[in-house]
Amino acid sequence: MKAAVIGAGGYISGELVRLLLQHPHLELAQATSTRHRGRLLSAAHPNLRDQSDLCFVSEDQLAPCDVVFLAMPHGAAAKSMDRWSALAPRVVDLSADFRLSDPSVRERYYPGAAPDPAWQSRFRPGIPELYRERLRGADHIAVPGCMANAAILALHPLAEAGLVRGPVLVDARTGSSGGGRTPDQGSHHPERSGALRIAKPHGHRHTAEIEQACGVPVRMTVTAVEAVRGVQAVLHITPAREVTERELWAVYRAAYREEPFVRLVRERSALHRIPEPRILGGSNYCDIGLSLGPEGDHLIVVAALDNLVKGGAGNAVQCVNIASGWDETAGLRFAGLHPA
Amino acid sequence: MKAAVIGAGGYISGELVRLLLQHPHLELAQATSTRHRGRLLSAAHPNLRDQSDLCFVSEDQLAPCDVVFLAMPHGAAAKSMDRWSALAPRVVDLSADFRLSDPSVRERYYPGAAPDPAWQSRFRPGIPELYRERLRGADHIAVPGCMANAAILALHPLAEAGLVRGPVLVDARTGSSGGGRTPDQGSHHPERSGALRIAKPHGHRHTAEIEQACGVPVRMTVTAVEAVRGVQAVLHITPAREVTERELWAVYRAAYREEPFVRLVRERSALHRIPEPRILGGSNYCDIGLSLGPEGDHLIVVAALDNLVKGGAGNAVQCVNIASGWDETAGLRFAGLHPA
Amino acid sequence: MKAAVIGAGGYISGELVRLLLQHPHLELAQATSTRHRGRLLSAAHPNLRDQSDLCFVSEDQLAPCDVVFLAMPHGAAAKSMDRWSALAPRVVDLSADFRLSDPSVRERYYPGAAPDPAWQSRFRPGIPELYRERLRGADHIAVPGCMANAAILALHPLAEAGLVRGPVLVDARTGSSGGGRTPDQGSHHPERSGALRIAKPHGHRHTAEIEQACGVPVRMTVTAVEAVRGVQAVLHITPAREVTERELWAVYRAAYREEPFVRLVRERSALHRIPEPRILGGSNYCDIGLSLGPEGDHLIVVAALDNLVKGGAGNAVQCVNIASGWDETAGLRFAGLHPA
Amino acid sequence: MKAAVIGAGGYISGELVRLLLQHPHLELAQATSTRHRGRLLSAAHPNLRDQSDLCFVSEDQLAPCDVVFLAMPHGAAAKSMDRWSALAPRVVDLSADFRLSDPSVRERYYPGAAPDPAWQSRFRPGIPELYRERLRGADHIAVPGCMANAAILALHPLAEAGLVRGPVLVDARTGSSGGGRTPDQGSHHPERSGALRIAKPHGHRHTAEIEQACGVPVRMTVTAVEAVRGVQAVLHITPAREVTERELWAVYRAAYREEPFVRLVRERSALHRIPEPRILGGSNYCDIGLSLGPEGDHLIVVAALDNLVKGGAGNAVQCVNIASGWDETAGLRFAGLHPA
């Protein structure tokens, strides 16, 4: 099956390209980049030296294919859906354009960028763990934001089980690659290095995605930490009733026992007791752990993932694997590295 | 005035030694280290090359002096108070031995290590911003833990004003120097580098200090982050009633307007909107900022400091400055570095 | 084919285990660890959670198999060769025990640890790019040191071509994982973080391996840099005669054109002009680049690799692939990550 | 004495401002910044919060003063020397404009930017260790580049003693702050983090400064390493004759015994045997160490400094202290931090 990646010079799309080059059923046939047009993929992605002879093309050089991945700035995908739809029968959007189904919520977080409702209604949320059945055969898929995906996977089982009281506090820690490829004052190494920067203490856009998927109010804080890759979502939850850790683990096991890319981390060792994104670089895993305080009124649930893979490109490939009826793990079996 | 530092080969005591070497009123007369006995201070603290001719001595070589700083492992100071007291009329303890006044709380967090109640009752808490008057002329001072100090300075004004409802969530992020100088598997660079390690999701000992000073219940989580120095305490607070950010700032201004080492950070720039410890390395400042969510039910207060200075050695010197009636900022005027 | 890894709890052996778990022709059948005996592989290698049900065993629980990888401290493999040889017909040693063929050189760099000459003579050097024919069918393979491998791949073509005058200066920069898994003062995060530590300005043991393989005198300096993984070997060479960069590239192309895991990096972009190890984490590539100074008397050749993969475990697997007559790249096709 | 800093919003000038604010004889009276005009110094330098009420002004708001520091892009100072000279009797240039005295060398490294020869002839090189006598009473001072300064201090004593044969290889490792405050693709955190980037393997401009000061040919390579601050210059030298380490140390002691800001580092501990910039952040020290290889044909001399202080702002202040007849260490006594 032939795939095209639109906006293939970025970080998430670089990972998408890497995954597609090794995918058993998908062939990367076309990759667009305005900036790198005519040059090898490795011009933008030095890790891909000698991995492919493909060169970036411009959008007007595109030929029809089987699936098109849209990795463009927010707002761009929605504007040209007729075009992408004519290009391939299956469209996967990695931007925020089709993530939020409620127009008023969308308008609040992304003012003035409403997509055509007809297109909006066709897109299905790209979260296999929540919507696997809806993804089978799906032709329009909108994959979630990286921090949203981590928080949703951490929160959803508890919310479903009615175990959450009041607003959930999502403390998301993120590496610098989440900010994309364009340099600015905030990404300048002397300023970004060693940061513990809470640039957005309230109102981050991913809040809306978490609330939509889990149905509970969320207060979200984002801290930029010293890392290139990785998201760690630390959820602070007030249990709705008295619970034990054992009971909580049972809820998560029931939800994720069969999931190929969610791992429940329940270790005694202080070193790896709670999930961290470091060992997940390049992998499609989301690791989840928890701790219930002795007073019983404070539960921590932690999810870690690679923002560019399970938080973006890998998750998109997983969705297409499901949509196409392939082995869900095809092309996604890299285990991550330790130490890293 | 002659000072002695007991246990002077560690990280906090290294900073103490550095500060004392440049203090206008205190003279570093003696520094003990079992491991480095007979060698120059720079054997343990390479930044102090050419700063002093003093060599480490063993404890049995100590001569009487004016003030003794105890920088030993928890439990060691309390065991030999008669000795330290005989050595100098003023004793400053940097360990946890005399921080907790309630024996039952102490027993819960530091089981089996109760100090003599007579000694315990003489120690005053080394938090100038809360107890300045009690520190004037004080002969026994117990300085708080690094993360506790940050959280206390962030929380106390609000708690005093009755603006806090229910347990306060303290999310403390800490650099590796807070773990001291002894290598272990967790401090091994390949394991510690790039960490977002929540080794202690509940029950950290500093919880008790914060609750004691502020009088509100605390749930505390500690994350080891990629940094050598620095603590950032992020407090998540439910306001007890409807408040505005303006009102909250007024509370903090009233509390800290005259404080030489607390800075209220209220910037528009996303880059420096909320305090970070990076720019505080070597300085005695505690920077405090806040953000109130639009729903009004979620307030973030953030304090940042250098764990070895305002979270330890610098704070100890500030206390002695007050106790001795000197300019409170003597020897503590280093501004910190940017970029760093 | 069944494989055993002896000393499987370390960093290089962790990578070996990871590679074997995904190898199409090799099956990881046994992994020993004194410390982790009876526990899952993920107890030592958290990235391997859910990748295998295998538990560590002790050495006396080993059963015969087809190939045994020795990943023990220097000196240990040589002492028990009869045992390993009885265990499997093919033995691959990742330590230094069988790397140096000249007894006097070996004695100088590893005093008192001479292996039995009969065993020594059976081992072939595990450097596919230099000794591929000797590796076909080989039953005893000694893979080189990580920094040695990088320097040898950078230097060998020029040395062969007689283009090197006088001693070659090898400036090796290394991440902390090269020091292994045991914590010490030098690996303690507050000391190791941000290091530019030239702990061994002269006389590093890898010098002997480079001189043996390339036949030219070497002066080697090692700097520990801020990284967990990666080696960058910067060679400063005085050309033996007037040469052009074009001529030099021709030498390297002739040597490595067909090599599956050596990439010649010849870019204009300052960002990626000279190879760096960062984008090679987890991959088996060695990237090589060069620059000839305008005066013609100073040539820089740079090789970068992942010390745990092409500098260890991956290279060992590549050697076994050759020895077994399999596709040389089997199990080794991971491309590395960018950004990382 | 009143001082003005022109271009005070950058990194080196930020350090200059910090040093001037605590200088006993110099008063920071004016600081210009086009971008930050009208705002507090802390708008550009967050570490200076509460340190000063001074606001940035534009250049046309400047009033006459006693000394003006020029911290502008290369080429800007030379263009307006009449103006700066009219502003203050003493002018200190931190750019490269007046560093190179030979017009043909200057034209080669900075084509088309020749300053007026009359102005050029008035400037004295701001290297106290080499030109202290020429700096006394000097009214025009050109401080050297950060990497040049490190290399010159490492090389000059040996070159003077005739102990250097052939070209000296200068391997300079530098943090990201040396690239200044303007973000670009190379300084973008995901690209710059963890770098070992040899962007300029040959022909760096600082080569000319080192050759000018030391009179020996230099081959210079620059590697951008993972650090914000700091330069480490590693010199590879072929001794002109047989020498011992003892003899070499005698040469350095003779040269630097009385120097307040050069420290000779001669330790046995592998941890601190060779100087590193980490412990020098904020300090004006240049630490120098060496190692002679057993073959006698390879000598390493290493100098480390903070690129923004001894490699820029601190060195400029030291020069003004000398020119003004003050204690040379005035305002420069900060010792640096460990761990850092």
Of D11, D336, D339, Cβ closest to residue B177:
D339
The verdict on A49 and A101 lying in the same domain is yes
> Which chain B residue has the Cα nearest residue C230?
B190
CA D176 to CA D255: how far, in whole Å?
31
**In degrees rounded to 5, what are phi and psi of residue D286?**
-115, 115
**In degrees rounded to 5, what are phi and psi of residue A204?**
-65, 145
A284, pLDDT greater than 90: yes
Q: Which residues of D are catalytic?
A: 146
- Going by their DSSP bridges, the two strands B231-239 and C124-125 should be labelled as unpaired
* Residue A292 pLDDT grade (very low, low, confident, very high; cuts 50, 70, 90): very high
In a domain, B335, yes or no: no
The verdict on B296 and B319 lying in the same domain is no
Q: What DSSP string describes C61-113?
A: G----SEEEE---TTHHHHTHHHHHHH-SEEEE-SSTTT---HHHHHHHSTT-
Chains sharing 3 or more CB pairs under 8 A with chain D: A, B, C
pLDDT at D272: 87
Candidates B49, B192, B276, partner chain D, best to mutate (most D CBs within 10 A): B49
In a domain, C53, yes or no: yes
User: How wide is the angle at C-alpha B327 spanned by C-alphas B322 and B331, nearest 5°?
Assistant: 95
The verdict on A93 and A154 lying in the same domain is no
Of A196, A295, A298, Cβ closest to residue B232:
A196
- What range does the domain containing A252 cover? 146-305
Query: How many folded domains does chain C comprise?
Result: 2
In a domain, A329, yes or no: no
| Residue D38: exposure state from Cβ atoms within 10 A (0-12, 13-18, ≥19) | exposed
In a domain, C337, yes or no: no
Question: What's the CATH number where B12 sits?
Answer: 3.40.50.720
Q: CB–CB of A294/B203 below 8 Å?
A: yes
- The sheet with strand A196-200 has its strands ordered as A196-200, A218-225, A164-174, A231-239, A299-305, A286-292, A262-264
CA C312 to CA C126: how far, in whole Å?
10
pLDDT at B269: 81
Question: What's the CATH number where A237 sits?
Answer: 3.30.360.10
CA A50 to CA C263: how far, in whole Å?
8
C202, pLDDT greater than 90: yes
Both structure tokens of A316: 């998109």
Q: CA of A58 to nearest chain D CA: how many angstroms apart?
A: 22
Q: Is A291 helix (H, G, I), strand (E, B) or coil?
A: strand
Q: Decide if C47 and A335 are in contact by the 8 Å CB cutoff.
A: yes
In a domain, C335, yes or no: no
* Residue A272 pLDDT grade (very low, low, confident, very high; cuts 50, 70, 90): confident
The verdict on D292 and D317 lying in the same domain is no
pLDDT digits (tens, 9 = 90+) for A216-263: 999 999 999 999 999 999 999 999 999 999 999 999 999 999 999 999
Cβ-Cβ contacts under 8 Å, C293 against chain D: 201-203, 219
Q: ipTM of this model?
A: 0.96
Q: CA of D258 to nearest chain B CA: how many angstroms apart?
A: 12
Q: Is A149 helix (H, G, I), strand (E, B) or coil?
A: helix
CA C59 to CA C6: how far, in whole Å?
8
Cβ-Cβ contacts under 8 Å, C295 against chain D: 167, 217, 219
Instruction: Return all residues near C107 (Cβ < 8 A) that are at least 6 apart.
Output: C114
> Which chain A residue has the Cα nearest residue D179?
A190
Of D173, D195, D234, Cβ closest to residue C276:
D195
B214 flagged as catalytic:
no
Closest-CA residue to A132 (of A110, A116, A156, A165): A156
What pTM did the predictor assign?
0.98
The verdict on A131 and A249 lying in the same domain is no
pLDDT digits (tens, 9 = 90+) for B94-115: 999 999 999 999 999 999 878 9
The long-range contacts involving B107-112, CB below 8 angstroms and separated by at least 24 positions, are B108/B208, B109/B205, B109/B207, B109/B208, B110/B74, B110/B75, B110/B205
pLDDT digits (tens, 9 = 90+) for C4-54: 999 999 999 999 999 999 999 999 999 999 999 999 999 999 999 999 999
Chains sharing 3 or more CB pairs under 8 A with chain B: A, C, D
Q: Is D233 helix (H, G, I), strand (E, B) or coil?
A: strand
Sign of the Cα torsion D249, D252, D253, D254 reads positive
CA-based Rg of chain D, rounded to a whole angstrom?
A: 19
List chain B residues with pLDDT less than 50.
none
The verdict on B18 and B133 lying in the same domain is yes
In a domain, B40, yes or no: yes
* Residue C200 pLDDT grade (very low, low, confident, very high; cuts 50, 70, 90): confident
Q: Which residues pair with C168 in a beta bridge?
A: C218
CA D122 to CA D116: how far, in whole Å?
10
**Chains A, B: CB pairs < 8 Å:** 142
Catalytic residue among A55, A65, A146, A319: A146
Q: Decide if B282 and D287 are in contact by the 8 Å CB cutoff.
A: no
A200, pLDDT greater than 90: no
Instruction: Return all residues near D33 (Cβ < 8 A) that are at least 6 apart.
Output: D7, D8, D9, D44, D56
Q: Decide if C221 and D300 are in contact by the 8 Å CB cutoff.
A: yes
The verdict on C196 and C294 lying in the same domain is yes
Sequential pLDDT tens for chain D (340 residues): 999 999 999 999 999 999 999 999 999 999 999 999 999 999 999 999 999 999 999 999 999 999 999 999 999 999 999 999 999 999 999 999 999 999 999 999 999 878 999 999 999 999 999 999 999 999 999 999 999 999 999 999 999 999 999 999 999 999 999 999 999 999 999 999 999 999 889 999 999 999 999 999 999 999 999 999 999 999 999 999 999 999 999 999 999 999 999 999 998 887 889 999 999 999 999 999 999 999 999 999 999 999 999 999 999 999 999 999 999 999 999 999 999 9
The verdict on D106 and D248 lying in the same domain is no
CA C127 to CA C152: how far, in whole Å?
9
The verdict on D160 and D296 lying in the same domain is yes
- Alpha-carbon distances of C334 from A52, C29, C72, rounded to whole Å: 13, 23, 26
Q: Is A335 helix (H, G, I), strand (E, B) or coil?
A: coil
CA D278 to CA C190: how far, in whole Å?
11
Q: CB–CB of B271/B330 below 8 Å?
A: no
D contact set with A (CB within 8 A) = 11, 175-177, 181-185, 187-190, 192-194, 228
Q: Decide if A228 and D176 are in contact by the 8 Å CB cutoff.
A: no
Q: Decide if B181 and C193 are in contact by the 8 Å CB cutoff.
A: no
CA C233 to CA C274: how far, in whole Å?
11
The verdict on B17 and B71 lying in the same domain is yes
Q: CB–CB of D186/A182 below 8 Å?
A: no
In a domain, B330, yes or no: no
Closest-CA residue to A221 (of A201, A199, A194): A201
Of C219, C271, C292, Cβ closest to residue D298:
C219
Cβ-Cβ contacts under 8 Å, B280 against chain D: 47
Instruction: Return all residues near D203 (Cβ < 8 A) that are at least 6 apart.
Output: C293, C294, D220
The verdict on B8 and B130 lying in the same domain is yes
> Which chain C residue has the Cα nearest residue D227?
C194
The verdict on D22 and D153 lying in the same domain is no
Beta-carbon count within 10 A of A217 CB: 15
Strand ranges, E, within chain C: 2-6, 27-31, 67-70, 90-93, 124-125, 140-142, 164-174, 196-200, 218-225, 231-239, 262-264, 286-292, 299-305
In a domain, D121, yes or no: yes
Q: Decide if A188 and D181 are in contact by the 8 Å CB cutoff.
A: yes
Q: Decide if D196 and C232 are in contact by the 8 Å CB cutoff.
A: yes
